[in-house]
Amino acid sequence: MQLAFCLYKYFPFGGLQRDFLRIALACQARGHALRVYTLEWRGDVPDGFEVLLVPVKALTNQRRYARFSSWVADDLARRPADRVVGFNKMPGLDVYFAADACFEDKARNLRNSLYRLSGRYRHFAAYERAVFGRDAATEILLISSAQRPLFQRYYATPDERFHLLPPGIARDRRAPPDARQIRAEFRRQFALAGEQLLIVQIGSGFRTKGLDRSLKALAALPPELGSRCRLIAIGDDDPKLFRAQAQALGLAERVSILRGRSDIPSFLLGADLLIHPAYNENTGTVLLEAVVAGLPVLTTAVCGYAHYITDAGAGLVVEEPFEQTRLDHMLAQMLGDAPARARWQASALAFAEHADIYSNAERAADVIVKERR
C-alpha cells in the first residue's frame, strides 16, 4: 500500500514523534510505501521515507494548520494514498493516533465560556469533530483508556471505531546487563558523589509537565537531604522562566536544564528518581521508560500511564486533587528511604519482564493496513 502520514512537526525527542516513527517503520517493514506530510522536520530522514515539507505560513497556528490540511488534501487528490494516518486531529483521516486528550472536554472545564467564542476554539473543535464525530469514518488508535468516555460523551463515537493499544515502550529503554557500569560511568561524567541523589525530569513542555512543581518540591526538602540532591530537567522548551524560578528558590547550583538529547537511557540508569508531576498528560511514556530501566517514579494521577506505576509497584502517585505539600512530602519520603527505592527498582524490573508494554507500533500497524470495512 501507499501510506500517507500527517503530523504538524517532527523532532527526535518528542513522545508523539517517537510514536509516529516507530509506527511508520513498522508499516514500512511490512513492505508498504511511506509519504510524510509535515510543516517541520528536524533530524535525519529514515531511508525510504518521502518527506514533504508543506509550504504554508500564517500568523496563527490554527490558520496555518487549516492551510496545511487544505494543501495535503489537494496533493492527495493528485497522488492518492491507500491510507491517510494522522498524528494530529484534522479532516480527511482514515486512521488517527490519539496522543492528545479531548480538546472539547478541556475547553469546557479548564477555560471560561468566552473561550468558546474564539477562532482558536472553533478551529480545534471542528478538527476534533472531524475525527470523532458519530458519522465520521476515522478509525481511532487509542493509547489512554481514560479518554474514550470523554470523546464518547461529546461525540457519541461508536465503540467499534476505537482500538486500544498497549504502550509503545522501546526495548532499548530496558536496563541492559551492564546497567551498573553505565550508571557508574554516568555518575562520574556528571560528578555525582556516592551519597548524592539525582532526580531527573524528562519531557518537552516544561509548563505542562510540572517543572515548577518539581522545583518547589526540591526547595522544600529538609536541608540535610536537599543539599545532597540535584535535579536535571531535559526537554525541548524555553528554560528561561524555570531557571529564574530555580534562582529565586536558591536552587541554581543544584538544577540543570538541558535540551532534548539522544542519550536518555543513560540518565534513566544514572538517576535515583524520575519526577513527573504533570498538570495534564494523556499518557506519559517516560513513566514506563523509567520503569523498564528500573528507576523509581514519582508522578501525578492525571497521567494516563500513572496506573502502571501502581501496578508495577515502581514508585508513588500523587492523587487528585493535586496538593503541592503532598508532592513535597512524597519526594522527601522517596529520597530519604534507600531500601524502599531498592524495592521499587526490583519490582519495576520484574514488571518489565512480562508486561505487554512494547507492542504499540505493531498493533497500530495491524489497524492501519487492514482491509477497509
Is the pLDDT reported for residue 15 higher than 90? no
The yes-or-no verdict on residue 308 having pLDDT over 50 is yes
Mean pLDDT, rounded, for 257-262: 93
Residue 120 pLDDT > 90, yes or no? yes
Count Cβ atoms below 10 Å from residue 47 Cβ, excluding itself.
Answer: 6
Q: Quick count: other Cβ atoms within 10 Å of Cβ 147?
A: 20
Contact in structure between 317 and 334 (CB atoms under 8 Å): no
CATH topology of domain 171-354: Rossmann fold (3.40.50)
Region 130-159: what's the mean pLDDT?
95
pLDDT band at 144 (very low <50, low <70, confident <90, very high): confident
Q: In CATH, what number does 2-166+358-369 get?
A: 3.40.50.2000
Residue 232's pLDDT band (cuts 50, 70, 90):
very high
- The mean of the pLDDT values for the chain is 96
- pLDDT, tens digit (0-9, with 9 covering 90-100), for 76-115: 999 999 999 999 999 999 999 999 999 999 999 999 999 9
Each residue's pLDDT tens digit, 171-199: 888 999 999 999 999 999 999 998 999 99
pLDDT value at residue 371: 52
Kindly state the average pLDDT of the residues 268-283. 95
What nine digits make up the cell of 242? 524555570
pLDDT at 282: 86
Average pLDDT (314-328) is: 97
Q: In terms of pTM, does the model score above 0.85?
A: no
Q: Which residue intervals of the chain bear CATH 3.40.50.2000?
A: 2-166+358-369, 171-354
Q: Which residue blocks in the chain are alpha helix, DSSP H?
A: 15-29, 61-78, 103-109, 119-132, 148-155, 179-189, 206-209, 211-219, 223-226, 240-248, 264-270, 285-293, 306-312, 324-335, 338-354, 360-369
